[in-house]
Structure 1
Amino acid sequence: MTIKTFSLGGDLEINRLGFGAMRLAAGTRTGPVRDAQTGIAVLRRAVELGVNHIDTAAFYGRGGVWANELIRKALTPYRDDLVIATKVGPLPGPDGVPSGQATADQLRGLAETDLRALGLERLDLVYLRVGGVTGAGGEAIAERFAVLAGLRAEGLIRHLGVSNVDAVQLAEARAIAPVAAVQNRHSDDLKLLAETEDAGIAYVPYFPLGGGIGGSPIDAERVGAVAARLGATAAQVMIASLLAMSSTALAIPGTGLIHHLEENVAAGDLRLSEEDLSELRR
């Protein structure tokens, strides 16, 4: 908890508490579309608060409000220390929900679309997002990851990541090119977390406020008890507990509301004692 930054890929120093852009357009998949100007204000406030790692994707959006466009409008010209991570692979279905997967031949086009939408000449971090809404594993990723490795060699991508993968798929990717980050659902895969930690690879859980810590689900009653003791919110305790998992763990809580953003960022200063962590992991 005393280590607030992480060297992504060995050369990009970022704050371990970042921002996820998925909820900029809407709070839930079926909820009302948010005002674009509110999203722009949230992004600008995030950077003001010291956030310099923003996680996004081309398919984050609804009703004409798209995260990548908001990021470009809000933050260009980009600060030199700002790192924008995106992901390619999922293809939206007729309802806009990602339900298909891009082939190897489609990945270049998806990366180039992100470059244009974000107004960048090079993407800082691109994840190959594998599979749909199901768990990791069960398919080879080498052919698709090799395409992204080629884009990295061309200078269009700085660092590569993989998302929704198991240990076998991570090994496939690492045999082709360096992997800077793994983005998996916040779950109990401690073995994979240990592997990324040993390799100096960032571990970036998605849905960080809806998963578990230390291999077991977070119990709302225990979280509430710790939060009450510390004078914090349950969300802040969960973010702080994620950062306490490992010095390579990065948090990317997302929101479309400024007061939630400020609450989330304040969790970076929350100190959990061994007693607190023991209670959460019990």
Structure 2
Amino acid sequence: MTSTDFYRIGGDLPVRRLGFGAMHLTAQDRRIALAVLRRAVALGVTLIDTAHLYGGGVNEEIVAEALHPYPDDVLITTKVGVARTGPEGEWRLDGRPEVLREQVDRALTRLRVDRIELLQLHRIDPETPLADQVGTLRELRDAGKIGRIGLSEVTVDQLGEARRIVDIVSVQNRYNLLDREHEPVLAACETAGIAFLPWRPTAAGGSGARAAVADVAAELGVTATQVALAWLLARSPVMLPIPGTASLAHLEENVAAADVRLSAAHRALLDDLEPA
């Protein structure tokens, strides 16, 4: 393991750059979910991503059951801002201050912590002023309930607006080898030293259908999924992929991608791939 395998979120919170997204565990057999989370940590994963949206808090409870008391080097990050407050009780974006405060309080209880070290706004609610949403998170940070603030699925302009209100240490946008729509956001994060957590980092397994990816995988003796993750890690020093799975075998495969080293020629070939 080298220094490039680690990143300090906000400049002071060290994590291994290849994390784990817990979303897929909500609907799984509880025993499998617990086993996958515990194995992830045993393999050296130190960044676990969950959210209120994932089962209305059930995912947070699973994370706590599996890992609490948390090892000192493990960061549990969760997200708020989506709630069952639609007209028929359906999920919708909801960044009203009272909703954000309630979800943070519930997350503290479910995760069994006094402070959430990294709390991300799951989506920006277009019906609530951004200043109210981010300002509420700032108040919660100042009150000691959260340590650092991140955003998810934002544009460059939204990131800039939020940063004028409070320090933003992470962005979680969709990004992978075949989907680079948020390239400008990644560039903004690089410039500002903000962690970029790409969700759907393996293109839902679709990258293996590309001949170039299959060729690189065959040459290196690894899988297409590992190539996709290795490309992300090589793409930017602020990149922290969070692949998720409910399979122990796939977990082992994903974590091993941190040891895959792409040559300059491999990277150039993959860089030139057309989007899906």
Normalised to the residue count of structure 2, the TM-score between the two structures is: 0.89
In the TM superposition, residue 219 of structure 1 has moved relative to its aligned partner by 6.5
In the TM superposition, residue 199 of structure 1 has moved relative to its aligned partner by 1.1
1:157 equivalent in alignment to 2:146:
yes
1:78 equivalent in alignment to 2:56:
no
Q: 1:189 to 1:126 in 2, by over 3 A?
A: same
Aligned residue type for 1:247: P
In the TM superposition, residue 128 of structure 1 has moved relative to its aligned partner by 1.0
Report the aligned-residue RMSD. Answer: 2.5
Residue 151 of structure 1 aligns to a residue whose secondary structure is helix
Q: Which runs of 5+ in 2 are unaligned?
A: none
- Which one has a larger percent helix, Structure 1 or Structure 2? 2
Contact 1:18 1:250 in 2 (8 A): yes
Q: Which of 217, 233, 238 is equivalent to 1:243?
A: 233
Q: Which runs of 5+ in 1 are unaligned?
A: 26-32, 212-216
Residue 34 of structure 1 aligns to a residue whose secondary structure is coil
Q: 1:138 to 1:76 in 2, by over 3 A?
A: closer
Residue correspondences, number: 265
Percent sequence identity over matched residues? 42
Q: Which of 198, 201, 205 is equivalent to 1:205?
A: 198
Residue 10 of structure 1 aligns to a residue whose secondary structure is coil
Aligned residue type for 1:275: A
1:226 equivalent in alignment to 2:216:
yes
Q: C-alpha separation between the residues in 2 aligned to 1:86 and 1:119?
A: 13
Contact 2:37 2:67 in 1 (8 A): yes
Residue 76 of structure 2 aligns to a residue whose secondary structure is strand
Q: C-alpha separation between the residues in 1 aligned to 2:89 and 2:219?
A: 43
Contact 1:24 1:61 in 2 (8 A): no
Contact 2:152 2:173 in 1 (8 A): yes
Q: C-alpha separation between the residues in 1 aligned to 2:53 and 2:87?
A: 12
In the TM superposition, residue 101 of structure 1 has moved relative to its aligned partner by 2.1
> 1:13-32, aligned counterparts within 5 Å?
13-25=14-26
Task: Indicate the residue corresponding to 2:264 in structure 1.
Answer: 274
> 1:1-282, aligned counterparts within 5 Å?
3-25=4-26, 33-61=27-55, 66-92=58-84, 98-131=91-124, 140-186=129-175, 187-210=180-203, 220-282=210-272
Residue 159 of structure 1 aligns to a residue whose secondary structure is strand
Contact 1:18 1:253 in 2 (8 A): yes
Q: C-alpha separation between the residues in 2 aligned to 1:96 and 1:235?
A: 37
